[in-house]
Structure 1
């Protein structure tokens, strides 16, 4: 059987650019080269797409603080069309080697929010991860939590503010409703980018300013004291939940630094020390959240578990990190799926969904 050509798209214009480079590096190292030919497409911070060589696509690859995309001299574009004509050279329109499936590992804005997924859908390319709708919903913490709450899933109390109505942001209102400390989060960012834990008016105002640097909408949430538990979900129409893992941060909260830069910033307890009853309840909740938000392929569901046993969904991440210290692949590894097999299964799920979508009628009239 001929090897599938897998396009790994990584980098991007978001604040999570460097995280994406690390994820791509780990996928490239782990993917089964006997089954897949890898084609690397790096997006720089200006949004330009580069066709990269595996031997030189990263600079400072072993240092997460200094890692960079090595820009190539081959700018590319993906255009709508048939399955064998999407990739062209951006400067001379020369047709390039085509893709069978795409593994988009662009975290954050313009990669995880449905934008990239929409472009791939127009280009008629199968891609790993949830659809346009699910990606955009899950990226927006405000909208996602409204839907989760409507489905009977516990989420933290919160307030939503927009930059257009910045004058309505009130520490007094937030503190009276949510108590202190509170968390301030950009609505459309991940990896704890722009997140602040605040207790005073001065901290609140600084946190608001910081969050509005990353998004035009933010949420302010109550602080839930509890264990941070995560569950990986895999599948399309019949999703399965992994074993559970626990984040044990050594800092005040699980920050960007703790997740991706400082390997001593947190410990991962895998599997989490939980009773069978609680484990099954959280796995069931993870699948319910996955299905409520219409996810497909993969997602990581993050929970808080209080001392009273209450379970809260904190976030559903549709393109979770694949770095060497990332929870998603680690949880599947202890659940019986190795890293290379996980990548293979995600690619299979992408092709399966594409074939299912392609079977839908595109005309009302019979020929």
Structure 2
């Protein structure tokens, strides 16, 4: 019997479009002799629906966008859960939901309640890695070096803007970055070189989140590592994008056709193994399972700073995460999906041994 693979994509998130691109690539790469794919589209308003089963060659962004039968999130979700996701037989969920309402532990909590195996990080690790402020607290306790930063909540900003600006300018300094705490794909992030840009950046970040992070710029290279596994994770060879932009923003990541990857990244002797060790340490400190991409800054003096952990990294054919694994050990895109599904099933089976009664 084929395993039913429920692919969740879209979502109530500013990263909705990124999720659609990921879903297309995944659906086109699934081994149809082993898996029966059921696409589940979540609209920007949070409504659940499905375009029906599609052959891999039929998966396009246009075909994946479906129209919900109900205008109420609870009813639309209930229809999917009681319908296709209640079908008998082995099943796994592949949540390809980037950013809020998907990568932050919310959908993972639902799947835990449904007792269905799912690919990727669990509730706690998803929430921790998406929240940059909380992640930095974890990293600080682990002793992994980070750039100087400050966390600011909206109520603090509203009550004393002068104090926040003073602390940012005197403790962080320019250039600095202002980031929404819980968002990815560089959305809502501003590079600031003066007070005017800092003010604008804070306003921009608060339009996406009620908590933000202000951090000092590290002048250097950004090195990425793919991590895969549950209790005994493995780290890929490090990689980096070669580009000439000061700030690697959303347009740079997804629309710049001139980007090239350097995998493995050209690093000094001993630095490759050190980066891989730190990536696994950070992964385990956050309780990650399944997959994550760990990003570092490497300054001109050879000093490493951990930037962030991405629990659901970009996952198209041209994304860094799958390409790093292909160049590390030859794992193809389809093989990587199957490894992730295997990790999801193994974690789920292990949880079934836990007692919930006295």
TM-score by length of 2: 0.92
Q: Which runs of 5+ in 2 are unaligned?
A: none
Q: Distance in 2 between matches of 1:203 and 1:95?
A: 48
- 1:130 paired to 2:121: yes
CA contact (8 A) 2:294 2:309 kept: yes
Output aligned runs, 1:178-327, within 5 Å.
Answer: 178-264=172-258, 266-327=259-320
Deviations 1:205-240 (A, max 9, x none): 110110001000001000011210000000000000
Map of 1:29 onto structure 2: 28
Which residue of structure 2 lines up, in the alignment, with residue 334 of structure 1?
327
Determine the structure 2 residue equivalent to 1:19. Answer: 18
**Closer/same/farther in 2, CA of residues 234 and 353 from structure 1, 3 Å limit:** same
Q: 2:101 aligns with which of 110, 120, 142?
A: 110
Of 242-251 and 301-310, the range deviating more from structure 2: 242-251
CA–CA distance in structure 2, aligned partners of residues 185 and 101 of structure 1: 34
Whole-angstrom CA distance in 1 between matches of 2:192 and 2:280 = 32
Superposed CA deviations along residues 6-64 of structure 1, whole A, max 9, x for unmatched, are: 10100001100000000001101112111111110010001001122326665458xxx
Any idea what SS the aligned residue of 1:363 has? coil
Q: Aligned-pair distance for 1:247?
A: 2.1
Secondary structure, in 3 states, of the residue corresponding to 1:334? helix
* Alpha-carbon contact 1:57-1:71 (below 8 Å) kept: no
Equivalent residues of 1:137, 1:143 under 8 A apart: yes
Aligned length: 346
Structure 1 residue 4: Cα displacement: 0.8
Q: Which moved more, 1:116-125 or 1:317-326?
A: 317-326
Which whole-Å CA distance do the structure 2 matches of 1:261 and 1:356 have between them?
A: 41
Conserved in 2, the CA contact under 8 Å of 1:156 and 1:222?
A: yes
- Name the one with the larger helix percent: 2
Q: Any conservation in 2 of the 1:76–1:88 contact (CA below 8 Å)?
A: no
1:187-213 deviation line (CA, Å, top 9, x unaligned): 000110100000111111110110001
